[in-house]
Chain A
Amino acid sequence: MGSTLFEKIWDQHSICDLGDGNELIYIDRIFLHERTGSIALKSLEERKVPIRNPNQVFATIDHIVDTFPGRGDKTLMPSGSDFIRSLRASVKGTKIHFFDIDDPNQGIVHVVSPEQGIALPGITYICPDSHTCSLGALGTLAWGVGSTECEHALATNTLIKKKPKLMKIMVDGILPLGVTSKDIILHLISQHGADGAKDHAIEFMGSVVENLEIESRLTLCNMAVEFGATTGIIAPDNKTISYLEGKAFSPEEDFNKAKHYWSELKTDQDAIFDKTITIDCSNITPYVTWGTNPQQAIPISHSIPFVDQIKNKNEKESMIRALEYMGLEQGQSINNQKIDAAFIGSCTNSRISDLRSAAKILKDKKIADNIRAICVPGSSQVKKQAEEEGLDRIFKSAGFEWRESGCSMCFFAGGESFGENQRVISTTNRNFENRQGKSTRTHLASPMTVAASAIAGKISDAKSIGIEQ
């Protein structure tokens, strides 16, 4: 019997069996940010436990740092600079690769990582952040951990872990024009629930996945955690290899060796998964969430379900609560729902291709009156590239604010928010209550949908406002 991609990488990193299903897994690379990494490093310092191999550790500042032009250590979030300074102090004098605020390669951890060739196919990789699963898009065995597990990995280069169950998701059919991997993952979660992949690691396969560019694959894997999965992974292919060639931390002299290894790295024909889900993309249309969980998503052209359609009592209550929080009615259509703000950013959709696709829609257009729109590039590199291509001018002349890179209003750390009851269409990954600020109403969607909605001033599919990509 053959093995899956996940098992191949897992077995290659298993140091020993600890009994009871647990294995000691070797961790190749660790990435930290100021929000949680600062605590892990400080805690190890206090215990006087050294970092086993600082050269395999990376750190960036993204979560709390402001994204206003001319920013520094001082943050809108009270005490935010303590996190920044604590991380900086901890990495100082160590061999940890550090991307400080003014580093040209600074950015959101999951954007910097592929961009710099830090996440690579076939390696194990962790970060104390739940969206670490994004990196599975490169064939990396990557998952999010808590601070205590991160400390363990920093101190020992290992984690004690039980192999998750494996799920295959076949993404077949032909993806219609104007439909993105964001829509695919929202569709998937809406159909199978926010815990639909609980206890499983997912491998995304199928013709649609093969045709997706690397950045779209990153979006797909990014939201594996919103599906309840331990992580997501996609087999490396020629696109992956050419994407990684020449990146700062990609292998140089050994690139050919690596390339050879990577191109063989895939699930065997006869490998067995614990569960398989097949989706046909041919009929998927742009999605948007209406509730306070990514599973509460529908195609823009559909209406919000009726409460009585939901059988499970707890789900029903959750729906009533969500509708109240969102200021929406059961059965109403979501299309043309008036919005107050639009946000393009986050580790889900802030890469250059995301910005390009939004800019294409915004070109020579203006956002609707009374709308606040913000674009936050995912990394300083993305920002630079966008400016070289003149995308910043398109965003600005359309009426968007153009920011420095960081997590920004993807979440509310006590700094900026759109305000109470403000309805925001957002390219982020979580529409939880209060996620973007107290009582802020978040609708998740693709960059195209967000751009189109910003112009229309209401939730709109790019196609419906007459824009064909």
Chain B
Amino acid sequence: MKSFKTFSGIAAPLIRVNIDTDAIIPSREIKTVSKKGLSGGLFAEWRYLSLESRKENPDFILNQDPFKKASILVTGNNFGCGSSREHAVWALSEWGIRAIIAPSYGSIFYSNCIKNGILPIVMDGRVISSMSEFIKDNPEENRLTVNLIKNEVSYSNEVIETFVIQKQDKEFLINGLDQIEQTLQKNSIISEFETLHKKTNPWLNAS
């Protein structure tokens, strides 16, 4: 997993509320038992005029210049609600999205982001509105700078907005550690717990 600390990028304002993971990647775009090869299906229903021809819909923001190169998505509340499919995050990441800015997220989607190196930034709707205005003014030049070390998003050289993120999520994003490996190191305390847990609750054994 790519780790990151700070970067600047083109941001695409896709201001809609309740964008669900079915919209981020429709189910039938998930064609193989794999975490890869999903970016073509990203927002497929909105991105293409027809799913068969794959002809791009020129009205969809991610098909327009310079948003084709966006690495930040600015969006409405409850982004990523709905299905738990991690494919939504894999598709966003493969397409090039590294951070999302929204007032709130679907909770499974949020943790899927963290696990896959996408930074889900929570910001107030009003901040998002003014950010969008700034971006739309000159999308190529008016980039956003995300600084995960300082918990900041800055734009227009002077406006700096801070955000809150759990310490552990932040460390995980910065260091890109493998959580399974880390937890397996605690195997002895897990086993100790497990033995006692099963002894106290003998009815737990599934056989």
Q: Do A and B bind each other?
A: yes
The interface of chain A, by Cβ under 8 A from chain B, is 12-13, 15-16, 18-22, 24, 26, 28-29, 35-36, 38-39, 42-43, 47, 49, 55-56, 58, 77-79, 82-83, 86, 97, 118, 120, 122-123, 128-130, 144-149, 151-152, 155-158, 160, 162, 164, 194-195, 198-199, 228, 230, 249, 251, 254-255, 257-258, 261, 293, 295, 314-315, 317-318, 321, 411-414, 430, 432-435, 438
Cβ-based interface call for B130 (8 A): no
Nearest neighbor of A28 in chain B, beta-carbon distance: B204
Q: A20-B167, A145-B111, A199-B107 are in contact. List 12 more A-B contacts (CB 8 A).
A: A15-B189, A22-B168, A35-B30, A47-B180, A145-B84, A148-B115, A157-B190, A194-B18, A258-B203, A315-B17, A413-B27, A433-B23
Alpha-carbon separation in the docked complex, A228 to B109 (Å): 11
Q: What are 20 sample pairs from A and B whose C-beta atoms fall under 8 A apart?
A: A12-B197, A24-B186, A36-B85, A36-B86, A55-B207, A78-B31, A79-B32, A97-B206, A144-B108, A164-B107, A228-B106, A314-B16, A314-B17, A314-B76, A411-B22, A412-B26, A413-B28, A430-B22, A430-B83, A435-B22
B136 CB within 8 Å of chain A: no
Contacts A21-B166, A314-B17 hold; do A155 and B31 have CB atoms under 8 A apart? no
Q: Which residues of A contact B166 (CB under 8 A)?
A: 20-22, 162
Q: Mark B156-195, 1 if CB is under 8 A from A, else 0.
A: 0000000000111000000000011001101101100110
B23, A432: Cβ atoms under 8 Å?
yes
B81 at the interface (CB under 8 A from A): yes
- Whole-angstrom distance from the CB of B89 to the nearest CB of chain A? 7
CB of B50, distance to nearest CB on chain A (Å): 10
Contacting residues, chain A, for B203 (C-beta < 8 A): 120, 251, 254-255, 257-258, 261
* Contact call A146/B111, Cβ cutoff below 8 A: yes
Q: List B residues at the A interface (Cβ < 8 Å).
A: 15-18, 20, 22-23, 26-28, 30-35, 45, 51, 76-78, 81-86, 89, 104, 106-108, 111-112, 115-116, 125, 166-168, 179-180, 183-184, 186-187, 189-190, 193-194, 197, 201-207
B121 shortest CB reach to chain A, Å: 16
Contact across chains for B82 and A152 when beta carbons are under 8 A apart: no
Query: In whole angstroms, how far apart are the Cα atoms of A78 and B190 in the complex?
Result: 42
Q: How far is the CA of A158 from the CA of B85 in the complex (A)?
A: 20
B167/A55 in contact, CB under 8 A? no
Q: Check A317–B16 contact: CB distance below 8 A.
A: yes
Find chain B residues with CB under 8 A from A195 CB. Answer: 18, 77-78, 81, 104
User: Could you say which residues of chain A place their CB within 8 Å of the CB of B193?
Assistant: 15, 26
Once bound together, how far apart are the Cα atoms of A251 and B15, in whole Å?
A: 50
Closest residue to A14 on the B side, CB-wise?
Answer: B193
C-alpha spacing A16/B31, complex, angstroms: 39
Q: In the complex the two chains form, is B18's CB within 8 Å of A149's CB?
A: no
| Chain B: CB-nearest residue to A49 | B180
What residue in chain B is nearest A252 (Cβ atoms)? B203
Interface contact B108-A145, CB-CB below 8 Å: yes
Cβ of B22: which chain A residues have Cβ within 8 Å of it?
A: 411, 430, 432-435
Bound-complex Cα distance A435 to B83 (A) = 10
Report Cα–Cα, A152/B178, bound state, in Å: 10
Q: Given the known A-B contacts A145-B108, A195-B77, A315-B17, are A19 and B168 also in contact in the complex, defined by CB atoms under 8 Å?
A: yes
Docked pose: A66 CA to B92 CA in angstroms: 29
B51 closest partner in A (C-beta): A438
A411 to B116, CA, bound (A): 25
Shortest beta-carbon distance from B84 to chain A in Å = 4
Question: Chain A residues near B82 (CB, 8 Å)?
Answer: 130, 430, 432
B206 touches A155 (CB 8 A): no
Chain B residues lying within 8 Å of A16, measured Cβ to Cβ, are 186, 189
Judge whether B184 and A155 touch: CB under 8 Å.
yes
Q: How far is the CB of B149 from chain A (nearest CB, A)?
A: 17
- Cα A111 to Cα B109 in complex, Å, equals 24
Q: Is the CB of B168 within 8 A of A26?
A: no
A146–B89 touching, CB < 8 Å? yes
Report whether A314 and B125 are in contact in the complex, using a CB–CB cutoff of 8 Å: yes
